[in-house]
Amino acid sequence: MYKHILLSTELSAESKIIEERASALQKLTGAKLSIIHVIEPMPVVFPIGESAIVYNFQETIDRLIEQAKERLSKLQKQINIADSEIHIKQGYIGDEILTYANENGVDLIITGSHGRHGVRLLLGSTANAVLHGAKCDVMAVRIKS
C-alpha cells in the first residue's frame, strides 16, 4: 500500500475533485499526504519588431505565491495535514512535481487530467509529463471542463 502520496494541485475550482480523491485515499491507506503547487516562469522579454520590452514579473510572482499560500492554507485545514507537507515551487510544473517525488520517496502522484486530444495532446500536458517521467504510480483524475 502507499506510504507517501503527492497531490499536485492547480488550486482551481476544478481541482476540488482531485483534492477530495487524494484526501479519501490518504485516509484509506494511512499514507503521508503532501501537496505541491507550482508557479510557472513568466517571460521576461517580449520581442516587438527589431526591439524588445523587458519586464520584471517578480511582483506578479510574489502575488501569485501569496494567493497560493492562502488557498493552500484553507485546503490544509480541510484535509488536516501539517505545514511541512505544503510546498509551493517555481519552475516547470512537470519537472518540479517529478523532482519533489524523487527526492522525497513519493510512491503515488495524484494529478488532474483535462482529457485533451489531438493538437493539445501533442503539445503536452502536466499529466502526460508526470505519467511518462514518474518512477512511481500516477493517478490522473479526469477533470471535466
Per-residue pLDDT of the chain (145 residues; tens, 9 = 90+): 899 999 999 888 888 899 999 999 999 999 999 999 999 887 666 677 777 676 777 888 899 999 999 999 999 999 889 999 999 999 999 999 999 999 999 999 999 886 554 444 443 478 888 989 999 999 988 877 6
One DSSP character per residue, 17-72 reads HHHHHHHHHHHHH--EEEEEEEEPP--SEEEETTEEEE---HHHHHHHHHHHHHHH
Length of the chain counted residue by residue: 145
- 140 has which bridge partners? 111
Q: Which domain holds residue 53?
A: 4-142
Output the pTM of the full model.
0.84
Q: Where are the alpha helices (DSSP H) in 80-125?
A: 93-103, 119-123
Give the count of domains, the chain.
1
Domain containing 10 — which CATH number? 3.40.50.620
Which three three-digit cell numbers place residue 5?
Answer: 502520496
